[in-house]
Structure 1
Amino acid sequence: MTFENTQAFAKELDSQDKLHKYRSQFIFPKVDGKQVLYFTGNSLGLQPTRTKSYVDEVMDDWANLAVEGHFHSEKPWWDYHERFANPLSKIVGCLPSEVSVMNTLTVNLHLLMVSFYRPTATRYKIICEEKAFPSDQYMFQSQVDFHGYAAEDAIVEIKRRDGEHNIRLEDVLSKIEEVGDELALVLIGGVNYYTGQVFDIKTITAAGHKVGANVGWDLAHAAGNIKLELHDWDVDFAAWCSYKYMNSGPGNASGIFVHEKHHNADLPRFAGWWGHNKERRFKMEPKFDAVEGADGWQISNLPVLSLAPYLASVDMIDEIGIDAIVEKRDKITAYLEFILEEISREVGSTFEIITPKNPEERASQLSVFLHGEGRSLFDYLMKNGVITDWREPNVIRLAPVPLYCSFEDMYHFGQILKSGILA
């Protein structure tokens, strides 16, 4: 398609967009009484209008039923999490028994590493990407320290080549082969938070297994954003947060995936009563008997008030379908890329998009290096109703989330960006 940098063309794209009707089902903040252009769904998704009714339902059941709400509410609390199994399995590409919801992202990654990071005297190293999200870096450091290894020896970072912004697949594969028999675990972010690079999960997982390592994925920026086939790709485990592309609210519950091949394996895990055999949970038995499937990694009873907003959004995504989301994602991201290039040409500034140009290696994010521009441009955008994200030294991250961003948003962003540079 040949794009045009005009409001009329952007409106025409919106009129053809099958997802455009969902825009009205989200609540946008306002600046100076005007709805913002929201580009930070990769940090915190907007609130769906349907969310309040899901939360109110739990609050009403608590008020009217109190403890009996566990069993006698319309959505009984004791099995509330089971409502996520089918829709989440379609979002991440797996069997319903392979997903569960609990805790928050880094907590879940730590708990999953209890089962899948089992270092020995000779096989103890972890491969991750350079400039992983800091929480992952801290997690790796504390895990290897807990097991008695030095971080500088046990943690192997795959680095970018000099002068390049993204990690090459061949460098990931060669590093896995190089570490070889010393490799215990590969754990990488499916989408890099800084550059927006999407990694080849299938190929990297196969390479890790080839040398005898377990392979897990932090899908914080991937779940609800890219097409995933975790079961068929033979991923061992994964975890993701729900508040970015799944719009569940700040700091909300995390999802986990554990491949069915591990469900009956003799793996260590930290146990709690909500992971105990469901049919006998309230017999208060002294010996732990894990629920079969990913639910067997649960520990405590679940925070239903937190799960309610998550369920509201998951139901919406299930209604739309991940394929439709990905289709619009690619088109609106390409249009944003075009707008950036057009404005750069018009004003004579150099905007270097450090996210891969190949659509298969990116998702709903463009990270833009503002050569010759500083924090003042970001401040101008924010003041004028463009909610975006600043990363040092001078990168802005733009996430044109397909559920609620419009093509006309992209056009208006370009005009505000242009005026900010010329101001």
Structure 2
Amino acid sequence: MPEQPGQPERHPLHLREGDPYGPHNLPYGVFSTADEPDRRRIGVRYGNHVLDVHTAATALGSAHSDLLAHPHLGALLAAGRPVWRAVRADIRTWLGYPAIEPFLHPLADVTLHLPFAVADYVDFYASEHHATNVGRIFRPDGEPLTPNWKHLPIGYHGRAGTIVVSGTPVVRPSGQRRAPGEEVPSFGPSQRLDIEAEVGFVVGTPSALGERVPQSAFRDHVFGVCLVNDWSARDIQAWEYVPLGPFLGKSFATSVSAWITPLEALEAAFVAPPARDRELLPYLDDSELPPAALDIRITVTLNGHTVSEPPFSSMYWTAAQQLAHLTVNGASLRTGDLFASGTVSGPRPHERGSLLELTWSGRDPLELPDGKRTFLEDGDEVTMTAWAPGPGGAVVALGEVTGRIAPAAGQAVLRGR
């Protein structure tokens, strides 16, 4: 919550009542400062400040100082759940010391970076509402859900190298696309560039090749949560995805938040998943396990105007089930793996997490103050924010993810060919 104009700036350790970035949250990121732009440091957000955790740990004689000295979160992620909890407890203690103030930097004065090295990336398709909407759009005379959908969490392996931190411009992709009625494809910039509001899960503790990770071990392997916008070029995707699935229509950019919210900060947000109407195989059966769905409320804005409010609690498949399915064949986890939920959509029209659904594939344009939209135009900026219930009625904010669409690279050259 930024200071209001005309009010004196508060002491960095004295947060406003109800600040969603209080000691109950403490998300991790990586930052640099103007005086040392090449020095990346692990930070924790506290209100509108960033705590330099390594410098603080060194000054306070922490046993975890070396672990926090790296320019990204990799070593901390790999250290495992007992260490995650210990470091978090230390930071909460430090923030009670007035002597910690010199290690706090105003958020407005730092540059944020991708907080971890992404190892592998998997994108799921876990919202029944989204899958049903897409099925109705593309198969209006058939069953909206494919026969396998309620038996397993459908997913695909994406491209880890094009995951970018919030604020990175998204260049409109070019590729092959075939318009309705055309016999052969043409090449050029995507004309149906879309968003996908998602929630991502960052793996810390790895697993061995050939080892299955059960749902009960979810919290031992997953470090934290972040918002994800998995941009999608619908026209490129529609032409290429049969029979092998998404490729160039998805791999050009995936935006993630600069802040990773520890799973421990979301303990109060775990809720029961939606009722299932199919019997699940034992490795996916969660009927006897603690609730593993998360009550995260997302808001999507386009050029500052709210266009959707998808509820993550409505997702049919939980992240624990996704992790169990991801490894059931013996696939190993690596520190820095990211798996995303797939588009989050709720049952009501204003809860749809993609423009494909919001405009029903362009049939029903959005009426915005700055004009109509079916799909994204150059210069459009999309921002996703979210919050979840915290302890004692507190609010836990997830770091926002934002991206602005830049024109296709080499567009003028391509037109001349």
Q: TM-score range by the shorter chain?
A: under 0.3
The alignment's TM-score, normalised by the length of structure 2, stands at 0.23
More helix by share: 1
* Higher RCO (CA 8 Å, separation ≥ 6 residues): 1
The alignment's TM-score, normalised by the length of structure 1, stands at 0.23
More strand by share: 2
